[in-house]
Amino acid sequence: MRPYLSLILSNMKYLVYILVSMVALACGTSQSTEKINPTRSLNEVLACGNLAGLEKKYGKDQLIADTSWVIGDDSLRGTILYPGSNRQVYVYYREGQIVDVTIVGNASEWKTDSGLLLGMPLKSVQAINQKNFTLSGFNWKHAGSVVSWEGGKLIGDSTLGHLASFSNASNQHEGISDAEYQQISGETEFDVRHEVIQKLNPSLDLISLVHPFIPNKEEGKSMSKRISDSQIPAGK
């Protein structure tokens, strides 16, 4: 059984993935193909602590302070920093405190202090983690999400964790056949050493830094419902 903290991080990852997908659709976010050299620290956004901290560091005119997204029967709120730019960051709160900062897409001006950046290939992430890790299968709602860092450097601690997904938007799988892609698809888990995953070598398209927390009873029920509602129906 995985540590409880890893389970919480994994569940939070699923929620963030849904949130960011909804935001991208709502805002019509386009994927930039220009070369970007990430120089900004995403950790510094998380360290702002709250909305006041964000406003003080980056300025009120650089963010949409209170924006909501509707998912099923729930409405979640957060902040978008530098909206519509290569510096865009999604910020989520719990009890007024920042618990998650997320970047998504092909490239961003942000990177983590650990060295993660959008567009980084899987093999480079392996090198940073200094250990193999586990991914969810491709070709479904939570495709390519890191399920566990398996005790590597990126697992973090009780104050900081890394969540990530590897790109496969529109199920593109250049470099491998449809039959090979099917081998690594579906609602299951794969060690990144799988020969087809290594051959595909997908790139990071979502990175989150989180302050882990143990949800209260009501939060736990809501989280479980959202995750359950997002799953692929049995037999599909």
Integer Cα distance of 12 and 88 in angstroms: 20
As a whole number of angstroms, the distance between CA 10 and CA 84 comes to 27
Helical segments of the chain, H only: 4-27, 42-46, 51-58, 122-129, 178-183, 195-200, 217-230
- pLDDT tens for residues 45-103? 999 999 999 999 999 999 999 987 543 455 667 999 999 999 999 999 999 999 999 99
Is residue 134 within 8 A of residue 150, CB to CB? The reply is yes
Q: 117-146, pLDDT tens digit by residue?
A: 999 999 999 999 999 999 999 988 788 999
DSSP-derived pairing of the beta strands 134-136 and 161-166: unpaired
Bridge partners for 189 per DSSP: 136
- Any residues with CB less than 8 A from the CB of 217 and at least 6 apart, and which? none
204-217 confidence digits (pLDDT tens): 999 999 998 766 66
Q: What is the pLDDT of residues 164-179, one digit of tens each?
A: 999 865 567 888 999 9
Within 10 angstroms of residue 181's Cβ, the number of other Cβ atoms is 18
pLDDT at 114: 96
Confidence (pLDDT) at 190: 97
Cα–Cα distance, 223 to 5 (Å, whole number):
15
Between CA 229 and CA 231 the distance in angstroms is 6
pLDDT value of residue 185 = 94
- pTM comes to 0.79
By CB atoms closer than 10 A (0-12, 13-18, 19+), residue 206 is buried
Instruction: Please state the domain extents for the chain.
Output: 4-30+37-217
Provide DSSP, 4-34. Answer: HHHHHHHHHHHHHHHHHHHHHHHHTPPPP-S
- pLDDT band of residue 5 (cuts 50, 70, 90) is very low
What gap in Å lies between CA 36 and CA 138, rounded to an integer?
27
